[in-house]
Amino acid sequence: MNYFSRTALAALVTAWPTFAVPAFAQEAASVEEQVLRLVTVNMPRSLDPINIDAQRIINNGYAEPLVYASLDGANLIPALAKSWELVEPTLWRIELQPSATFWSGAPVDAAAVQASFERHQEKNARAASILRGATFKAVGLTTLEIRTEKPDPAFLFKTVTIAIHNAARADEIGDRYAMEADLSGYFKPTEFIPGELVVAEPFEGYWGEQPKLQRLEARFVVDPQTRYLAMQSGEADMDANVQFEQRRAYIRSKDYTFPEVNKTNWNIWMNYRHPLLQDVKLREALSLGTDRNEIVDGVMAPFAVHSTGHFPAGLPYAIEESQVTDPERAKALLDELGWKPGADGIRERDGKKLEFTVLTYGWWQTVAIALEAQWRKIGVATTLRVVEPTASNQIMLDGDFDIATYCSCGTPTGDLSGQLTSFYHSEAVQNWQRYANPDVDALIEKLSTEADTETRFALAKEIQQKVMADYALIYVGNTELIGIAHAARIAGVNPERARDITPSMYIAAE
C-alpha cells in the first residue's frame, strides 16, 4: 500500500487514536493551584468562529472542530467527529459524539453541525473558499453526510481550523454573538475582554474528558521580553509565542520545557495588486537581494536552516531547489528594468523612487529590519508598517499591503492540494497576494483528485517548481514557526497537539 493510503487516507477512513496520557504521570498540585496563566500575542477579538480575529479559540479549548490534525500533519484525531468513512469518492459519512452539547445545553447534533458549516460557507471569508462546493446534510441524529463536488480524499483535513458553533443562537442574537458565542469546548470563558484577556473554567457539560486545570487565564502581552520576564518571575506558566532571542535564554534554564512543534518554511508575501510586483524580474531581484545567510545563520540561529521550496526539506513531497542570494545579479536585473540609483542610493525610474511598505509584527520584526537594510543595498527603499499580530489578519484579507512578513508558511500536511490551493490558487481567499498562474491552478486541481501517492508527490513537486520559477513568494528559512515554553510544573502536555491547551494538562506538585 502506498504512503498516502497508509497514513492520510487510512486516517480518514478510521479514527486515529488520541494520544494516551496517564491521568497524572506526576503528582498533581492542589485543586486550588490548577490555574494555567498564559501570555500570548494571539488573543481573540471575537468568540464568533466566522470572525477572522477569533484567534486560537480551538487551540485554547473554547471551541472544537470535527477533527484535529496530528503533529506531523499526516493523520486525523477525533474531536466532535467520533468516526468517519469515505463511502463514495465524493461522499463522507461522519458519526458525531453522541452526548456533545453546546455551552447552552443545546445538542451538537448533525443538524447543528450542518448549520454551523453552512454559516461558515455564507459568512466566513476564509472558510468559504476552503469549503467551496461542499454540501452538508444531517441524515440522522448524530450522522452527518458531506458531499464534495469532486473526489477529495483529504477533505477532512480542511476542517481542522473550522470551529463548530451554535449557528441558530448566532442568528438569534446577531452581533452579540461575538461576546456571547455558544460553543462546545472544554473551557468556557467567564470573562472576556476582546484582544486583552480571557478567563475560562471547565465546561461541566463537556462530552469528553474533563480538564484537570480548573482555570485558564490568557493575557495579551505583545513584547517578547515582557513575556519572558513574566515566566521568570512566576507570573506566567506558558509563553505561546517564544521568539528566537528569548528562546536562547529559555533553553539555558531547567525551569522550562519545550514541546516539539512542526517546522515550517517562513516566507515573504508580495502583493500582485501592486503594479511593480507583477513583474517577475522585480520579484526575482528582491529575492536575490534577500541575504538568507544573515537571517538564518544570524537572526534565527541556531533554530533554523535554509529553505528549499514551499515545504520543509526532508518530506517526500518537498523539493531540493533553493532560492539563492546574489545582490550583484539583483542590481543587474534592476538596471535592466530601468531602475537607476539616485543620489541617495535608492533607485528611480520616470521620476519615481523604487520603494515599498513592508507589513510586519512581533516575531517577524527583526527579520523585516534585516530586510530593510539588505534591500537598501540593492537600491530598494522600504518603510516598515508595524502592527499587532491580530490586526495583520484583516489587513492581509483586505489586501492592504505591498510586501508582508506574515505568519502563513508551508508546513507538513496530509492535505497537499488544500495547502497549495490556499497559497497559490488564483481563486483562494488565503492566497493573500493574488498570485495567479493558470498552469498552477490546473495542476492543483489535478492534485486534489489524485489518489496515487507517487503521482501526488510528483504533482506537488511540479507545482513548487513552477511557483518558485515565478518567485511567487520569497522563501527565507525553515524553522519552528514560533516556539512554546512551559514552566517546568506544567505536565500532561499532549505531544500530538503540542500547541493546544488540552484536558490532560495540569500543574504538578513542586
Question: Exposed e or buried b for every residue in 34-58, given b needs 16+ CB within 10 A?
Answer: bbbbbbbbbbbbbbbbbbbbbbbbb
pLDDT tens for each residue of 358-379: 999 887 888 999 999 999 999 9
Domains of the chain: 3-27+43-185 (3.40.190.10), 263-480 (3.10.105.10)
For the record, the C-alpha cell of 472 comes out as 511567487
For residue 17, is pLDDT > 50?
no
pLDDT at position 22, please? 43
CB 187 within 8 A of CB 62: yes
For residue 186, is pLDDT > 70?
yes
CB 314 within 8 A of CB 471: no
Which helix (H) or strand (E) segment holds residue 193: the answer is: strand 187-193
CB 271 within 8 A of CB 277: yes
Average pLDDT, the chain: 92
| pTM for this model (two decimals) | 0.86
Residue 383 has, within 13 A of its CA and on its CB side, a CA count of 8
Poorest-pLDDT segment among 131-135, 304-308, 425-429, 501-505 = 304-308
pLDDT tens for each residue of 298-325: 888 888 888 989 998 889 999 999 999 9
